[in-house]
Amino acid sequence: MSYLRKKIGVAVAALAVAAVPAMAQQTIQKETFGITLPAGFAEFKAQVQKAESPEGTVETTNWVSRAAESGQAVVVTMSTMPGRILDPEKMMDSTRDSLLKSLKATLESENDIEGEMPATMIQFRSEAAVLQSKLLVDDDRLFQVLYVGRSAEQRAEPAIGQLFSSFRVVPKPEPATATTTSAAQPTEVAGKKP
């Protein structure tokens, strides 16, 4: 549980990253996910951290984008666990609870999302911000798309809905399978014996 608090703290701290010039709406394709950022959001800045857990190493990457003029931000987090996530619901519930606690936020709504991967969407607020988060589990990876805004009106903008609906997880490549080859047998070439 303390690992999740640290992970969430890192994501929130990453929001303090200096803004870079804003751009028009942009579709971002990373190795592990794709998303369309609304107009006004800067390019993602990435930060990778590793933490030890009782089960092994957890690697967490945070991609942060800010809209300097409006005070909004988007954070995409991917945590790769040391093994397959056996109880996705428990993982998402624990992440939600840690997020709410670390931000001293109040849950407004939560809805499961139908699809190929276990996923949920939550809306919540703190004294300083209005937030929305999409959590997804894919095998050994936990993804979070976190939107941070200043008002419920900002969060309700169609571009924010499109942000969440555009998010796609890139499937992990299948592990390479070992192929066995037999020793090459001598063959006849153009009537000559080897």
Instruction: State residue 24's pLDDT score.
Output: 72
Q: How far apart are CA 164 and CA 90, in angstroms?
A: 22
Task: Identify the band that residue 95 occupies on the pLDDT scale cut at 50, 70 and 90.
Answer: very high
Instruction: Please name the residues in contact with 127: beta carbons below 8 A apart, sequence gap of 6 or more.
Output: 104
Task: Identify the band that residue 105 occupies on the pLDDT scale cut at 50, 70 and 90.
Answer: very high
pLDDT digits (tens, 9 = 90+) for 51-67: 999 999 999 999 999 99
pLDDT digits (tens, 9 = 90+) for 114-130: 999 999 999 999 999 99
N-terminal to C-terminal alpha carbon distance within the chain: 67
**What H or E segment, with its residue span, contains residue 147?**
strand 141-149
Task: Identify the band that residue 158 occupies on the pLDDT scale cut at 50, 70 and 90.
Answer: very high
Instruction: State residue 178's pLDDT score.
Output: 54
> What average pLDDT does the chain have?
85
